[in-house]
Amino acid sequence: MVAPVDADLAVVGAGCAGLSLALALATARWPGRRPRIAVIEPRERYVRDRTWCFWPVEPQPFTAAITHRWSRWEVRVPGRSIIRGSSRLPYVHVAADAFYTQALSRLREAGVELHLGRAASSIVDEGSRVTITTDGGAMRARLAFDSRPPHPGPSAAPATGDIEVELLQHFLGWEIVVDRPRFDPGKAILMDFDVPQGDGLHFLYVLPFSRERALVEATYFTEATLPTATYEARIRDYLRRRFAVDDFTIAFRERGVIPMTTAPARPQPSPRVYNVGLRGGLAKPSTGYAFLAIQRFAQATADRLAGADLTATPPPPPAPRSALATAMDRVFLSYVHRHPERAPKLFADLFDRLPPDLLIRFLSDHASARECLRVMTSTPLAAMTREVLRSRARWLRPAST
């Protein structure tokens, strides 16, 4: 006898990854009855709380949520500025409020049950179903997808000795408005390393939305976060030095922490519980980019489950990324960890020496083996070769455990 459930599929945590997965499941081509899908999320309402950017190297279902595009971008290091671009693959920006509005509207239209204002405290695999305990009561489902934010800090994957790199990408950003033209709305500044490095490896990131409005972020690649005042001081100093801006209005604030680790992705807790989002290792370890990986994972998961018997043992989840992309991430992250003082030149050389579309494919996990080799030859080859040999225990491991 099949144990009764309240929903066939339950998505626990409805940020970008959870909402994207719920939509992919709701719109998949199920051979028979479409499963009953429930989403559990502690927020009662959604507001703009973050930003996603990427290069559109593949189709994704939220094109209508793209609010800005830049066909040129800049990387700066002391004494050197590299400006590149692509009209075919512009750098695009998705504001969270636009994404949330579109995702929630489409989920409601698809009949997905949205349980907002309910926080889940545990997910237990009982063999033929899972029980999700929430502050609004228990819910039983055939499968659960855990998209709750992981605990902040280094990777929660099982320890594999002292060979792992455990860094954090941590940042604070302000969207500011000034009273006179100061920004170039046709060019994004992806990395400006021409700033004091006394607090650790960091750069400033600028997305100009108009001549008077821009998102400016101080971003660090280090092992620990910093006091709020440190990020804010770096932004103020940068605006003063680079743009002659002292007076401005802050229209939006964001802050984030993304793990950058060579450790395998957090293992699947049990056959009926999938890890999703940051918990599932979907942020690219060497850069933090996640939006397209989330969409790929969501679609691959939906395609895999649409042909499966949900009452039987479910198929394993898709890998976060290819073995090749995982190996390249581990090599680059190991190099940056070992030589943080060389990282600005490494990034500048990549943007300077490689054709923009090739580098975009590499940064978006779309590069072929031949293209990855070309990327490697654009770096300090001797040092990078040593890193490949030193870190072989990392890059030879699978992407997940």
When mean pLDDT is compared across 71-85, 141-155, 170-184, 273-287, the lowest value belongs to 141-155
Give me the mean pLDDT over the 367-381 stretch: 88
What was the pLDDT predicted at 330?
Answer: 86
- Given pLDDT bands bounded at 50, 70 and 90, which one contains residue 226? very high
What was the pLDDT predicted at 268?
Answer: 86
If one compares 99 and 327, the residue with the highest pLDDT of the two is 99
pLDDT exceeds 80 at position 235: yes
Closest CA to 238 of 170, 183, 168: 183
Residues 168 and 154: beta-carbon distance below 8 Å? yes
Phi and psi at 59, nearest 5°, equal: -65, 150
Cα(355)–Cα(346) distance, integer angstroms: 15
Cα(339)–Cα(134) distance, integer angstroms: 45
- Given pLDDT bands bounded at 50, 70 and 90, which one contains residue 382? low
Dump pLDDT digits (tens) for 300-325. 999 999 989 888 989 999 998 898 89
Dump pLDDT digits (tens) for 92-122. 999 999 999 999 999 999 999 999 999 999 9
Give me the mean pLDDT over the 286-292 stretch: 95
Residues 200 and 221: beta-carbon distance below 8 Å? yes
Q: Which residues contact 183 (CB under 8 A, 6 or more apart)?
A: 206, 208, 210, 211, 212, 213, 214, 243
Cα(47)–Cα(82) distance, integer angstroms: 35
3-state DSSP of 296-359: HHHHHHHHHHHCCCCCCCCCCCCCCCCHHHHHHHHHHHHHHHHCHHHHHHHHHHHHHHCCHHHH
pLDDT exceeds 70 at position 394: no
Closest CA to 254 of 205, 189, 317, 184: 205
Give me the mean pLDDT over the 40-45 stretch: 97
Six-digit token string for 390: 């030193």
Dump pLDDT digits (tens) for 339-371. 999 999 999 999 999 999 999 999 999 999 999
pLDDT exceeds 50 at position 205: yes
pLDDT exceeds 70 at position 85: yes
When mean pLDDT is compared across 1-5, 185-189, 270-274, 281-285, the lowest value belongs to 1-5
Cα(277)–Cα(27) distance, integer angstroms: 19
Closest CA to 113 of 148, 139, 147: 139
Closest CA to 26 of 292, 269, 99, 18: 18
Q: What percent of the chain has pLDDT over 90?
A: 78
pLDDT exceeds 50 at position 83: yes
Dump pLDDT digits (tens) for 151-193. 654 444 444 445 678 899 999 999 999 999 999 999 999 999 9
- Given pLDDT bands bounded at 50, 70 and 90, which one contains residue 273? very high
What was the pLDDT predicted at 393?
Answer: 53
3-state DSSP of the chain: CCCCCCEEEEEECCCHHHHHHHHHHHCCCCCCCCCCEEEEECCCCCCCCCEEEECCCCCCCCHHHEEEEECEEEEEECCEEEEEECCCCCEEEEEHHHHHHHHHHHHHHCCCEEEECCCEEEEEECCCCEEEEEECEEEEEEEEEECCCCCCCCCCCCCCCCCCCEEEEEEEEEEEECCCCCCCCCEEEEEECCCCCCCCCEEEEEEECCCCEEEEEEEEEECCCCCHHHHHHHHHHHHHHHHCCCCCEEEEEEEEEEEEECCCECCCCECCEEECHHHHCCCCCCCCCCHHHHHHHHHHHHHHHHCCCCCCCCCCCCCCCCHHHHHHHHHHHHHHHHCHHHHHHHHHHHHHHCCHHHHHHHHCCCCCHHHHHHHHHCCCHHHHHHHHHHCHHHHCCCCEC
The chain-wide mean pLDDT, for the chain, equals: 92
Q: Residue 198 burial (CB < 10 Å; 0-12/13-18/19+)?
A: exposed
